[in-house]
Structure 1
Amino acid sequence: MQPTEVKARLEERIDECEFVIQGEGCNFQVTAIGERFAHLNRVKSQQLIYGALSEEIASGALHAITIRTYTPEQWANA
């Protein structure tokens, strides 16, 4: 998969978030920025992203994913 494909899939499946995707092949780093992460702990935030990509993970199109989630305020301060 290409980073643009991963980003497009996430944008289709998770509303009101901005995504920055880096990587290639089946290894990607996903940075997700959205207000929805303000009320989720780290595990729940990662589960949201993993759930949105579950088909690609199950098929083997995605193998290794590193996930970082931020609120817009946290992102601005990062």
Structure 2
Amino acid sequence: MDTRTIQTLIEQGLPGAEVLVEGADGVHFEARVVSAAFAGKLPLARHRMVYATLGELMGGAIHALSLRTLTPEEAARAG
């Protein structure tokens, strides 16, 4: 598994999202996902939305995925 594939899957599943995925070992990844679709949702719901874009890859080809999920407004405040 590679970062570009994960990024593409998340972007396809959450249209308009700004996605950055890192992970050099091919099984452990970190993703920062900024999406207006996260507005009004708790962190667990946001994470489930991202996991849904990856389907069966989670727990298989993707052993671990650390997520930072933000709305565009939260991302602007975070700098």
So what's the TM-score if we normalise by structure 2? 0.88
2:37 is equivalent to residue 28 of structure 1:
no
Partner residue in 2 for 1:55 = 56
4+ residue runs over 6 A deviation: none
Identity of aligned residues (%): 29
Structure 1: which 5+ runs fail to align?
A: none
Counterparts of 1:18 and 1:38, CA distance in 2: 14
Which of the pair is proportionally richer in helix? 1
Question: In the alignment, is the contact (CA less than 8 A) between 2:14 and 2:35 conserved in 1?
Answer: no
Partner residue in 2 for 1:3 = 3
Structure 2: which 5+ runs fail to align?
A: none
Aligned length: 77
Read off the aligned partner of 2:17 and give its amino acid letter. C
Partner residue in 1 for 2:70 = 70
